[in-house]
Amino acid sequence: MWYVNTIGSKYKYIKAIEEVIDKEVKGTRRVIEPFAGTYTISHLMVRKGLHVISNDIGWWSYSIGRALVGDGKWFGTAVRVVSVLESVRRVPSEGYDRKLKKDKMEEIARRLRENRVRGGRLVVSRGSYDEFLRKVKRVGRGSVVYIDTPKVFRSAKESVFKNFPKLDSWLIGKEVEYELWNESNVREHHERLFKLVSAVGVRKVIVECYKKAVPKVDEIERMMRKYWKVRRAHEFKNDITLVGEEK
Ligand SMILES: C[S@@+](CC[C@H](N)C(=O)[O-])C[C@H]1O[C@@H](n2cnc3c(N)ncnc32)[C@H](O)[C@@H]1O
């Protein structure tokens, strides 16, 4: 089983998420994941026999996806990324230069090799969700979209992903910048996201919400109702899963 046990990863919720996927994705062959992160959930869905088209803005995430589909060019980078993610609680603000543990890296390389996906069942791309959703407009029709947005917390001014561009710069050896979600743009991002998903014409939208994040779950529900019939499908600790379906 492929997983990355790090902050922001859905690893600790995997059992609960698996139940949601088993129940909600039944009867669909294709799933789209615009915010794949560590590829923990994309890989889970591939293991369920689904055809998964995934995306994330981070090069760090891209390297994991490409390594999982057997792209040797990205394998070493993915091993370094996962070693960093599993050894720190937060990505440091000045990139990452600490010496990585050799045995940890070997264990991760083994895990990546064992979980390689064959036969084009996982498509990996890198870019912003807007570009991605515009690109999948034709193939995405009738599929299910699984959404785990970058969370913005009321208590913290900045995104937990604020240092990820630094990690990317360190990995690919050139300056990387991208707009992070924060308190002032997070609503606008949700509105744009749902509008684009609705333009793809997906059959079902699964949105992982977090009670302590902004916008509040009620607000997200309201935004989704503009396009879909919405229900609360699952609740586990602070996580609530909203499901939107064609009206
Ligand atoms: C909550 S995480 C997803 C975690 C994932 N479910 C997992 O299990 O690892 C949100 C992801 O959104 C990505 N992200 C942030 N801004 C983005 C954007 N504008 N377009 C696409 N992805 C973005 C981040 O890089 C991060 O990996």
Whether 113 maps to a domain, the answer reads: yes
Say yes or no: CB of residue 60 within 6 Å of ligand 1: no
Q: Is residue 207 over pLDDT 70?
A: yes
Atom 18 of ligand 1 has which residue's CA nearest to it? 128
Say yes or no: CB of residue 2 within 6 Å of ligand 1: no
CA 24 to ligand 1 center in whole angstroms: 22
Whether 176 maps to a domain, the answer reads: yes
Residue 10: which residues within 8 A CB-CB, separation 6 or more? 17, 37, 40, 41, 148, 208
Residue 8: what pLDDT? Answer: 63
Whether 15 maps to a domain, the answer reads: yes
Give me the chain's average pLDDT, please. 93
Say yes or no: CB of residue 13 within 6 Å of ligand 1: no
Mind listing the pLDDT tens digit for each residue in 16-34? 999 999 999 988 999 999 9
CA 17 to each of CA 122, 208, 212, 224, 234: distance values in angstroms, whole numbers, following the listed order: 19, 9, 19, 20, 9
Domain count of the fold of the chain: 1
Residue 240: what pLDDT? Answer: 95
Range of the domain at 192: 11-245
Say yes or no: CB of residue 10 within 6 Å of ligand 1: yes
Q: Is residue 157 over pLDDT 70?
A: no
Residue 33: what pLDDT? Answer: 98
Backbone phi, then psi, for 26, in 5-degree steps?
Answer: -55, 140
Mind listing the pLDDT tens digit for each residue in 51-104? 999 999 999 999 999 999 999 999 999 999 999 999 887 787 777 777 889 999
Q: Is residue 242 over pLDDT 80?
A: yes
Residue 136: what pLDDT? Answer: 97
Say yes or no: CB of residue 221 within 6 Å of ligand 1: no
Whether 5 maps to a domain, the answer reads: no
Say yes or no: CB of residue 140 within 6 Å of ligand 1: no
CA 142 to ligand 1 center in whole angstroms: 23
Q: pTM of the entire structure?
A: 0.96
Whether 1 maps to a domain, the answer reads: no
CATH of the domain at 24: 3.40.50.150
Pairing of strands 144-147, 204-210: parallel
